[in-house]
Amino acid sequence: MKLLLHICCGPCAVYPVDTLQAGGIEVMGFFYRHNIHPYTECLKRQLTLEAWAGDIDLRVIIQPGYDLEGFIQRAAFREADRCAICYHDRLKATALLARRGKFDAFSSTLLYSKFQKHDRIRDIGEALGGQMGVPFYYEDFRKGWKAGITRSKQMGMYRQPYCGCIYSEKERYYKPA
Ligand code: SF4
């Protein structure tokens, strides 16, 4: 099976890529950029992913452009539910690319994170898979949470301290007095 895997960042990709490849699945990565702010942070995560992918011969498509403005416009006035919008944007872009590239399925490293809304990601992925005619591959990669962290630390990968968007950066660092 040929699978297009949306990759949110290098450290989150280590366990899913290992597991999928061990299961005989041919994986190609797709790095989506619009939700990672600011731009210098996006580049840092991208370079981390590209260095690791180069080491393991993983092909990764890097999303062109950087539509921070579009992301903010879609989230505006819906900040509390922005993650569902963000999941949808990322998974839709992946599904479209998978269909165009004639992949057998698509999936996401978002299914690895203990901090994401796992069931929501699965629901959105499966709905998009139905609409696009490319199956969404579901696996609960959270079972490899610790193993992935250990491996990414051993490899000295940059591990980001917040999810991605500027809202999540504020939630991480802003402490009201
Ligand atoms: S917190 Fe993460 S998942 Fe939620 S909108 Fe921001 S980047 Fe997307």
Amino acid present at 67: D
What one-character DSSP code corresponds to residue 80? G
Q: What's the CA gap between 66 and 8, in Å, rounded?
A: 15
Sign of torsion, CA 62 109 107 28?
A: positive
Predicted model pTM: 0.97
- Distance from residue 35's CA to the centre of ligand 1 (Å): 7
Average pLDDT over residues 4-8: 98
pLDDT of res. 177: 87
Question: For residue 84, which of 118, 130, 34 has the smallest C-alpha distance?
Answer: 118
φ/ψ (deg, to 5) at 137: -85, 120
Cβ of 35 closer than 6 Å to ligand 1, yes or no, is yes
Give 40's pLDDT tier (boundaries 50, 70, 90): very high
Strands 2-7 and 105-108: parallel
Q: Where are the alpha helices (DSSP H) in 9-81?
A: 10-22, 39-56, 68-75
Q: What residues are paired with 28 via a beta bridge? A: 4
Cβ of 168 closer than 6 Å to ligand 1, yes or no, is yes
pLDDT of res. 15: 98
**pLDDT score of 20 more than 90:** yes
Cβ of 33 closer than 6 Å to ligand 1, yes or no, is no
* 3-state DSSP assignment of residue 6: strand
- Distance from residue 25's CA to the centre of ligand 1 (Å): 28
Q: What's the CA gap between 93 and 149, in Å, rounded?
A: 27
From 72, 83, 109, give the residue whose CB has the most ligand 1 atoms within 8 Å, as the site to mutate: 83
Tens digit of pLDDT for each residue in 148-161? 999 999 999 999 99
Cβ of 164 closer than 6 Å to ligand 1, yes or no, is yes
- Residue with CA closest to ligand 1 atom 5: 83
